[in-house]
Copies of this chain bind each other. A is one copy, B any other.
């Protein structure tokens, strides 16, 4: 039980698409992650997917819909079952919340991240 500084935690993240757990909330992992480039399209059948951009700008591509820019200070929650792809031209820093045990890659073929705790 302590105050968690997001920038301090992000300074310890050196890789892209590699969420690191910084806190727990009711069976969810609260994570920080850096993105750059494109993730695969995927969906999570049993959970919403929480993104809050802390620094930089990302784009959320949604199957069959216009893409949405998501900038620092903006949040995007992907409802369960919706096929989506986060991407970023330049590195972006994101707060991510997913239930413990949920692969960050959803139903895609990409290897799920290990989600280490920092």
Q: Mark A42-62, 1 if CB is under 8 A from B, else 0.
A: 000001101010100000101
Q: Oligomeric state, in number of copies?
A: 2
Min CB gap A118→B, angstroms: 13
Q: Interface size class for chain A?
A: 35 or more
Report whether A97 and B25 are in contact in the complex, using a CB–CB cutoff of 8 Å: yes
Say whether, besides A1-B78, A3-B75, A75-B3, A26 and B99 are in contact (CB < 8 Å): yes
Give 9 nearest A-B pairs by CB, closest first.
A4-B75, A3-B68, A23-B77, A25-B50, A26-B48, A25-B48, A5-B74, A3-B70, A3-B74
20 pairs of residues in contact across A and B, judged by CB atoms under 8 Å:
A1-B65, A1-B78, A1-B82, A2-B68, A2-B76, A3-B69, A3-B70, A3-B74, A3-B75, A4-B75, A4-B76, A4-B77, A6-B73, A6-B75, A23-B77, A24-B48, A25-B48, A25-B77, A26-B80, A30-B75
